[in-house]
Chain A
Amino acid sequence: NAGVMQNPRHLVRRRGQEARLRCSPMKGHSHVYWYRQLPEEGLKFMVYLQKENIIDESGMPKERFSAEFPKEGPSILRIQQVVRGDSAAYFCASSLFERQVLTYEQYFGPGTRLTVT
């Protein structure tokens, strides 16, 4: 039973480039969450997606960041024109059930560590 998979595990980008982070949820999970963890800080919610729908993007920066979860394939977090402040660990989590009504545990991937030089 594969857990949540994220790739790449490490990503180095120069300022101004684009970063694409991928997340494959656990088998059978159709709810995906993205979080950002800055050095020495806790996790901050970014976006909650279901297949082909963005449910809650209240934690996403207004510019340069976008996320999608297509019908087929992994969820993608895309950061355009990266800046040094985007350097962080980005974690994806998935859950079996919708978490808008009831609480269910989320399972996290190993994260993608983005470094912007």
Chain B
Amino acid sequence: SQELEQSPQSLIVQEGKNLTINCTSSKTLYGLYWYKQKYGEGLIFLMMLQKGGEEKSHEKITAKLDEKKQQSSLHITASQPSHAGIYLCGADLHTGGFKTIFGAGTRLFVKA
């Protein structure tokens, strides 16, 4: 089973609509990363969250890490076709050193 669960697996939204992607772990996360991957391409770093309750925004994308540092959400406001892609959350687990694990990704499609 995945140590880092992402939901939903895929999402189709109408342009202009808001959406939220979730990333959940049963373990405490020491660093939470959000990446965007365009189909067939590499990963683009979006944001990193470290502290419980932390929230960061970049343009129309906001990410939050809950107080217990076990869940993060990524919220996109007024989605555009350029937001389409695969959103991956990655997190550091401490196992004698930090190892990053990734969720399976959320595939976002934005209908114009």
Binding site for B on A (CB under 8 A): 6, 33, 35, 40-45, 48, 55-56, 58, 91, 93, 99-111, 113
CB neighbours (8 Å) of B30 from chain A are 103
Checking A35, A55, A105, A111 against B33 with a beta-carbon cut-off of 8 angstroms, the contacting residue is A105
A45 touches B98 (CB 8 A): no
B104 touches A42 (CB 8 A): yes
Q: Given A43-B102, A45-B100, A56-B97: A99 and B92 within 8 A (CB)?
A: yes
Segment of B38-46, B57-65, B74-82 engaged in the interface with chain A: B38-46
B102 touches A103 (CB 8 A): no
B7 at interface, CB cutoff 8 A: no
Which 10 A-B residue pairs are closest in the complex by CB-CB distance?
A103-B31, A110-B42, A108-B43, A100-B97, A42-B102, A43-B102, A42-B104, A103-B92, A105-B48, A99-B98
Cβ contacts B1-26/A at 8 Å (1 or 0 each): 01010100000000000000000000
Checking A6, A43, A56 against B90 with a beta-carbon cut-off of 8 angstroms, the contacting residue is A43
Most chain A beta-carbon neighbours within 10 Å: one of B6, B33, B40, B43: B43
A109 touches B42 (CB 8 A): yes
CB neighbours (8 Å) of B44 from chain A are 108
Binding site for A on B (CB under 8 A): 2, 4, 6, 30-31, 33, 35, 40-45, 48, 50, 88, 90, 92, 97-105
B98 touches A111 (CB 8 A): no
In the complex, what distance in Å separates the CA atom of A107 from the CA atom of B48?
A: 12
CB neighbours (8 Å) of A42 from chain B are 2, 4, 6, 88, 102-105
Closest A residue to B2 by beta carbon equals A42
In the complex, what distance in Å separates the CA atom of A103 from the CA atom of B43?
A: 18
